[in-house]
Amino acid sequence: MISITKNDKRDDGRKFDEIRPLKIEAGVLERADGSAYLEVGGNKILVAVYGPRESYIRRLLKPNTGVIRCRYNMAPFSVDDRKRPGPDRRSTEISKIAAEALRPSLMLEGFPRSMVDVFIEIIEAEGGTRCAGITAASVALADAGIPMKDLVVGCAAGKVNDEIVLDLSEKEDKEGQADVPIAMMSRTEEITLLQSDGNLSEDEFKKALDLAMEGCRQVNKVQIEALKTKHAQDVESES
């Protein structure tokens, strides 16, 4: 195995508890009700939100509340080898877990029989797209003006060369020993997504979970800033 961690630095020069450089921009699409663009490390993700709108799939609508639908899709050019376009097992899974991670934050009781559509498009992938996708989707939902209890924020932790590290890159994910992506609500710190891939001892898992939650708090600050600066720009462009 290639050495990915040296002393207290990782392969890409980060510390064990450091996230990759993160940039979020809200309201980038004109025609969507809400949208967000996110870059973290080598990831480029675009999220569009439509709704609440009249459900065009009758069997999905609920008479007492609105529903959220999510679609996670990777562009064919988003990875080194061309990805065959269209839904596959992995993207179907991520679509489902993203919708379930976001649902607890939304207050759709005021919109019965309606539907909110979230489209997560991965333009470029470099590890940790599901967490980044959820983070961006929550910003886009807030941008769409959908009532929600909290912003949902995602971040991953994992084990690489027997060290617990935060926010795994693609290389670390592939060559590392474990990956724990989580999503949580920023204020209440309720966890809405918890997955684990690889082998971790109980202590290691606890450590990874704590680290991932700390990462979420950092990402949340960028989320809030993105939403606020988008608005501040509107004011500036006028004067």
| Of the residues 19, 144, 178, 211, which one makes contact with another protein according to CB under 8 A | 144
Q: From edge to edge, which strands make up the β-sheet containing 67-74?
A: 22-26, 34-40, 43-54, 114-124, 67-74
For residue 224, state whether it binds another protein (rule: CB under 8 A).
yes
Cα separation, 89 vs 26, whole angstroms: 29
Cα separation, 6 vs 10, whole angstroms: 6
Task: Classify strands 9-10 and 22-26 as parallel, antiparallel or unpaired.
Answer: unpaired
For residue 46, state whether it binds another protein (rule: CB under 8 A).
no
For residue 217, state whether it binds another protein (rule: CB under 8 A).
no
Could you tell me the smallest distance in angstroms from the CB atom of residue 105 to another protein?
Answer: 8
Nearer to another protein, 36 or 180 (CB): 36
Could you tell me the smallest distance in angstroms from the CB atom of residue 136 to another protein?
Answer: 15
| Of the residues 10, 14, 20, 33, which one makes contact with another protein according to CB under 8 A | 33
User: Using alpha carbons only, what angle is made at residue 124 by residues 11 and 119, rounded to the nearest 5 degrees?
Assistant: 130
| Of the residues 117, 121, 143, 204, which one makes contact with another protein according to CB under 8 A | 143
Q: Helix or strand or coil: residue 208?
A: helix
Nearer to another protein, 34 or 154 (CB): 34
Contact set for another protein, span 107-136 (CB under 8 A): 107, 110-114
For residue 231, state whether it binds another protein (rule: CB under 8 A).
yes
How many other C-beta atoms can be found within 10 angstroms of the C-beta atom of residue 86? Answer: 9
Helix 129-143 to helix 202-238 angle (10° resolution) is: 40
Stretch that binds another protein, among 93-101, 106-114, 161-169, 210-218 (CB under 8 A): 106-114
Contact set for another protein, span 54-83 (CB under 8 A): 54, 63, 66
Tokens encoding 27: 């309201």
Any idea of the CA torsion for 99, 102, 106, 111, to the nearest 10 degrees? -10
- Pick the closest to residue 47 from 186, 143, 113, 154 (CA basis): 143
Task: Classify strands 178-185 and 163-166 as parallel, antiparallel or unpaired.
Answer: unpaired
Stretch that binds another protein, among 36-44, 67-75, 81-89, 145-153 (CB under 8 A): 145-153
| 69 neighbors 51 (Cβ within 8 angstroms) | no
Nearer to another protein, 119 or 200 (CB): 119
Contact set for another protein, span 146-205 (CB under 8 A): 147-151, 185-188
| Of the residues 12, 88, 210, 234, which one makes contact with another protein according to CB under 8 A | 234
What residues line the site for another protein (CB under 8 A)?
33-34, 51-54, 63, 66, 105, 107, 110-114, 142-145, 147-151, 185-188, 223-224, 227-228, 231-232, 234-235, 238-239
